[in-house]
Amino acid sequence: MLKILRKQKVAKKILYVLAAIIVPAFVLWGSGSLIRDSKEKRFAGKVFGKNVAYSEYFFTLGAWRNKLKMQFGDKASYLEKVFDPNKAVWDTIILTHEAMRRKIKISDKELVGFIASLPFLQKDGVFNQELYDLFLKYSLNTPANIFEEEIKQSLVLNALLEQVTKDIKVTDDDILKAYKEKNDQIKLSYIAVFNQDLQKDIAVADEQIKEYYDTHKQDFKKPLQINLNFIGQDYPKDATDQQKKEIEDNLQLIKESLENKQDLGSIESKFNLKFEETGFFSLGEPIPRFGWLAESTDILFGLEEGHYSEVILTPRGPYIFGLKEKRKDYVLTFEESKEEIKNKLLGDKSKELAKEKITEINNKIQTKINENPKSSLQEVADALSLQLKQTEFFSRESYVPGIGMTQEFSDAAFSLKPDQISQIIELPNGCFILGDAQLKEFDQKKFDDEKEAFKNELITQKKNEVFEEFADNLRAQAKLVDYVGSKQKEN
């Protein structure tokens, strides 16, 4: 696709899409899927009454993960634990089917122009093929044709978004209200009982840990896992097409030797290559040492013990994989689970203890307030010898040192009147009582200067909300049958 860029310089240009490379925050879903041959025998599920092949499912999963990498870099692995990859994949497939129904298409010219406009693939404002190749190989570990198909389908979803949200508008009152909510700041005092501070005084006996393990064994059940052995060869850096062909031909000879049941040791000696193991991994996890091989996942999990795949062209080079061992319904042993259970029990007990302590403190505070209703939190804390902490000014979207960034804390803080003391606020890290609020309103001149840019941000946010509602309705119409999710639950 992008070979034409080697023959001519492509000037830097910006295509109008809602996001540079990632569709908006409402849809951390990855790009679309490839609609495969419906006659495939293995299906991941159904949408709109039509079978969805495993190849489409795993392609979409790989695309979603690539998007996380591109937007969040080394934080991608953490975010994958926060989001639900299976849900993300099905949302993408459903939206892509809808885009196809509407006959939305992206031309090759639009695709090339978009990729060429990405700043991290440019040198001196011009698309750079070497940067592109390095990015695909080392950042995404994805072949160019797969990446380009992912981007094309992502642009299709952006086009769908534009169709659905083209009539969204905001009023001046909407802009003012939203700007105020984002830019007003507040400063306050608080009393805190942190869960972590209480854990040192909590003992968890081995008997309690064992009892929890025995009654929650299913929580430690792992899905189907496989361990593969493999043999192959990496392409040399800057390998020519001829060098790659020679390596691939060599692997075909190894494949023939395996089909002829030759001893593995003799194959290693003959070709001067070693069989190695990946180690166990589950469906939906990267393959150790290879990363995501979305197009081959269903092939690898379909292998029978002792059988070998065809030669698979990975981004590293050609490899052959064989199933060494399959582990079904594996439940972690008590020793493997012990530390995790201990931490959970400590967390649960410290949370209960924090609630008890803050309730006791709150009762004392209420008694003092009844004696003098006009008392501030500072005055009450001094009278009761309670440790009182203060925040700096923060907005609704700020990270508050020592507390974090939580909607519950922000909502409680900004709902306080200057002379009001809050009720108990329970957060994941502890319990709090707030008071002595000081509100600092937004800067009117800054608002006037930023109004137009903020308006565009607000329209984008509104589009996100409308599209999310549209996607919810589409999910209901799709009547998803999810074989992958049901298998994960069974395992």
The CATH number linked to 78 is: 1.10.4030
CATH number for the domain spanning 247: value is 3.10.50.40
Domain end (from 294, 327, 360) = 327
Instruction: State how many domains the chain has.
Output: 3
CA distance 439 to 418: 8
pLDDT in tens, 411-446: 999 999 988 999 999 999 999 999 999 999 999 999
State whether 72 and 164 are in the same domain: yes
pLDDT bucket at 403, cuts 50 / 70 / 90: confident
From CA 314, how far away is CA 57, in angstroms rounded? Answer: 19
Q: Are residues 340 and 199 in the same domain?
A: yes
Residues 118 and 232 in one domain: no
In a domain, 26, yes or no: yes
Burial class (CB in 10 A: 0-12, 13-18, 19+), 96: buried
- Do 160 and 54 reside in the same domain of the chain? yes
Query: Which among 136, 110, 330, 123 has a CA at the least distance from the CA of 222?
Result: 330
Question: Given CA atoms 67, 72, 73, 78 in this order, what sign does their dihedral have?
Answer: negative
448 within domain boundaries? no
445: in domain: no
34: confidence class by pLDDT, cuts 50, 70, 90: very low
Average pLDDT, the chain: 86
3-state SS assignment for residue 474: helix
Answer yes or no: do 51 and 96 share one domain.
yes
209 φψ region: left (φ > 0), alpha (ψ -120 to 50), beta (else):
alpha
Please determine, for residue 31, whether its predicted confidence score (pLDDT) is greater than 80: no
Q: Which residue has the tokens 């501030």?
A: 376
Q: What is the mean pLDDT of residues 231-259?
A: 92
For residue 294, which of 65, 40, 22 has the smallest C-alpha distance?
A: 65
Q: Do 32 and 136 reside in the same domain of the chain?
A: yes
The answer to whether 232 and 310 are in contact (CB under 8 A) is: no
In this predicted structure, what is the pLDDT of residue 85? 87
Report yes or no on 352 lying in a domain. Answer: yes
3-state secondary structure of 371: helix
In a domain, 179, yes or no: no
Q: Which of 304, 327, 350 is the last residue of a domain?
A: 327
Residues 6 or more apart in contact with residue 211 via CB below 8 angstroms: none
How many other CB atoms are found less than 10 A from the CB of residue 480? Answer: 18
**Are residue 129 and residue 272 in the same domain, yes or no?**
no
HEC secondary structure over 88-129: HHHHHHHHHHHHHHCCCCCCHHHHHHHHHCCHHHEECCEECH
pLDDT computed for residue 20 by the predictor: 29
- The structure's pTM equals 0.58
Say if residue 271 is in the same domain as residue 309: yes
* Domain hosting residue 258, numbered range: 225-327
Same domain? For 83 and 123 the reply is yes
Per-residue pLDDT tens for 308-349? Answer: 999 998 888 999 999 999 888 778 889 989 999 999 999 999
* pLDDT tens track for 91-113: 999 999 999 999 999 999 999 99
Q: Are residues 283 and 370 in the same domain?
A: no
Domain boundary among 308, 327, 346: 327
CA dihedral 108, 110, 115, 117 (to 10 degrees): 150
Question: Quick check: is 447 in a domain?
Answer: no
Q: Give first-to-last CA distance, the chain, whole Å.
A: 41
Q: Does residue 30 form part of some domain?
A: yes
Answer whether 139's CB lies under 8 Å from 65's CB.
no
pLDDT score recorded for residue 16: 22
Q: How many CB atoms lie within 10 A of CB 139?
A: 13
Give CA–CA dist 177/175, Å, rounded: 6
Same domain, 14 and 162: yes
> Would residue 481 count as lying in a domain?
yes
The answer on 150 and 26 residing in a single domain is yes
